[in-house]
């Protein structure tokens, strides 16, 4: 019997590829980086853009998907991050390669700003003051683009010059709000949803972007009022939009309120916080995503998962993207040294050119249940600080033995 195959695509496909591999599928990965972890999890990898651009090339992505449709036993393809900037790839069917994710009506319901914020307003869900036109006084406002991801679309409104640039669709403005950046990973069947966990988002200034996504910690402990507010928001949005599969909700919180920012209508990077526990015998999250997208009700999926679930509290995990401080050509020794650490991921292959200010790798930390987010954040920072010196030492050692 031919082992089922799946195509996973995005700016970085490592997380999707590893989850698909755990599900027992053959994996074809399409992304920008082609890091060693992705290549280890996938049967084949194809580049669909340049890493320095941090954006998909629509033509290369479409061509790679077209080639993959003839793969024996292929079930379809799953879109990760980056397709917000090229939604036409999600809307144009490929014969023999169905998209395993949200259909256009559900996707548009949460990714079109006018529709999404009208939905929230109609159902009484809190969100920052939002407008489609530039505010008369831009101080204290953010400019956002619905086509962006990872915070790379967010800028201070008073730092943006040129009103003509805002004539294209998808640009909107939100008043800057105080609050703890958080997210919730959830699984939906088009009618109802189950929250898999609540996370703290790690954001920091990166160039002209004040809130670039750097990583996440989860699950974090929150009070009953906030947990109830998150579940209510997720359930309301799913019932109103018809979302299916794995998705995530980004929000701000003051400890009790859930102030909704956006929905990522796809599997998010926070999957990595929940999809790697060797003590949890259930199937991979991507397998659950597939079942939900194929029309299976959550009640059936949850009942099966609960049969093998453990009652132990889950560990608290963190992940942090490490950006290169300087430009590098990755030495052969770096991959081996980084892999031996056990907590370094997205490890670039030897010979990769890493531009200054672009992602180098990801570090992770796994802590005991109940560990504070501050403690996990400190562990991540310490590990991130060790990476660039290791890269330099690896290069010097490789040069010395030539």
Q: Tell me how many domains the chain contains.
A: 3
Q: Do 303 and 377 share a structural domain?
A: no
- 304 versus 109: the higher-pLDDT residue is 109
Q: How confident is the model at residue 209 (pLDDT cuts 50, 70, 90)?
A: confident
Asked whether residue 235 falls in the same domain as residue 287, the answer is yes
Which pLDDT band, with edges at 50, 70 and 90, does 388 fall under? confident
pLDDT band per the 50, 70, 90 thresholds, residue 394: low
The helix (H) or strand (E) run that includes residue 396 is helix 373-400
- What is the pLDDT averaged over residues 213-242? 97
Same domain, 111 and 96: no
Does the structure show a pLDDT above 90 at 201? yes
* Strands across the sheet containing 244-253: 259-264, 244-253, 180-189, 193-206, 209-218, 316-323, 359-367, 344-345
Give 344-378 pLDDT, tens digit per residue.
999 999 999 999 989 999 999 999 999 999 999 99
Strand-pair partners of 321? 362
Q: Are residues 72 and 200 in the same domain?
A: no
> Do 311 and 222 contact (CB within 8 A), yes or no?
no
Count other C-beta atoms under 10 Å from residue 319's C-beta: 25
Specify the pairing of strand 259-264 against strand 316-323.
unpaired
**Gap between the Cα atoms of 272 and 19, Å rounded:** 9
The whole-number pLDDT of residue 275 equals 87
Closest C-alpha to 32, from 8, 3, 7, 12: 12
Structure confidence at residue 181 (pLDDT)? 98
> Is 157 a member of any domain?
no
Half-sphere exposure of 275 toward its Cβ, with a 13 Å CA cutoff? 27
Beta bridge partners of 185: 197, 248
Domain residues for 37?
A: 5-100
DSSP 8-state symbol, 102: -
Q: For 182-190, what is the mean pLDDT?
A: 98
| pLDDT at position 307 | 59
Q: Is the pLDDT of residue 280 over 90?
A: no
d(CA 151, CA 201): 11
CATH number of the domain that 65 lies in?
3.40.50.720
CATH of the domain at 241: 3.30.470.20
Q: Which of 341, 267, 265, 1 is nearest to 109 (CA)?
A: 265
Across 374-400, average pLDDT? 78
Average model confidence (pLDDT) across the chain: 91
Q: Is the pLDDT of residue 105 over 80?
A: yes
The answer as to whether 172 is a domain residue is no
> Using one digit for the tens of pLDDT, what is the confidence trace for 13-50?
999 999 999 999 999 999 999 999 999 999 999 999 99
**Which of 308, 337, 371 marks a domain boundary?**
308
Residue 328 has pLDDT above 90, yes or no: no
Considering only 40-49, 206-215, 241-250, 254-263, which range has the smallest mean pLDDT?
206-215
Comparing 303 with 101, the larger pLDDT belongs to 101
């Amino acid at each position: 019997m031919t082992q089922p195959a799946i195509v996973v695509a995005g700016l970085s496909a490592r997380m999707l590829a590893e989850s698909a591999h755990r599900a027992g599928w053959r994996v074809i990965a399409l992304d920008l980086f082609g890091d060693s972890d992705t290549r280890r999890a996938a049967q084949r990898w194809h580049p669909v853009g340049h890493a320095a651009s941090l954006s998909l090339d629509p033509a290369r992505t479409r061509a790679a998907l077209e080639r993959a449709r003839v793969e024996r036993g292929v079930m379809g393809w799953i879109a990760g991050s980056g397709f917000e900037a090229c939604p036409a790839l999600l809307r144009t069917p490929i014969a023999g390669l169905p998209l395993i994710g949200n259909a256009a009506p559900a996707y548009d319901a949460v990714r079109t700003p006018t529709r999404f914020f009208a939905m929230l307003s109609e159902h009484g869900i809190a969100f920052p003051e939002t407008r489609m036109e530039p505010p008369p006084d831009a101080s204290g406002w953010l400019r956002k683009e619905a086509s962006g991801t990872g915070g790379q679309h967010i800028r201070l409104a008073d730092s943006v010059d040129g009103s003509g640039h805002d004539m294209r669709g998808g640009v909107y403005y939100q008043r800057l709000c105080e609050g703890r950046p958080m997210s919730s990973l959830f699984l939906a069947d088009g009618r109802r949803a189950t929250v898999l966990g609540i996370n703290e988002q790690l954001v920091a200034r990166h160039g002209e972007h004040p809130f670039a996504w750097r990583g996440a910690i989860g699950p974090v402990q929150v009070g009953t009022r906030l947990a109830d507010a998150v579940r209510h928001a997720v359930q309301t949005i799913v019932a109103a939009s018809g979302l299916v599969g794995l998705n995530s909700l980004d929000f701000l919180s003051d400890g009790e309120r859930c102030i909704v920012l956006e929905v990522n209508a796809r599997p998010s990077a926070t999957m990595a916080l929940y999809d790697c526990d060797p003590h949890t015998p259930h199937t991979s999250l991507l397998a659950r995503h597939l079942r939900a997208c194929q029309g299976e009700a959550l009640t059936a999926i949850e009942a099966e998962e609960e049969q093998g679930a453990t009652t132990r509290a889950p560990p608290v995990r963190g992940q942090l993207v490490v950006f290169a401080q300087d430009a590098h050509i990755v030495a052969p020794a770096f991959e081996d040294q980084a892999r031996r650490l056990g907590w370094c991921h997205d490890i670039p292959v030897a010979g990769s050119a890493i531009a200054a200010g672009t992602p180098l790798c990801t570090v992770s930390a796994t802590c005991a249940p109940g560990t504070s987010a501050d403690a996990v954040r400190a562990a991540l920072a310490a590990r991130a600080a060790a990476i660039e010196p290791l890269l330099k030492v690896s290069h010097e050692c490789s040069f010395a033995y030539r």
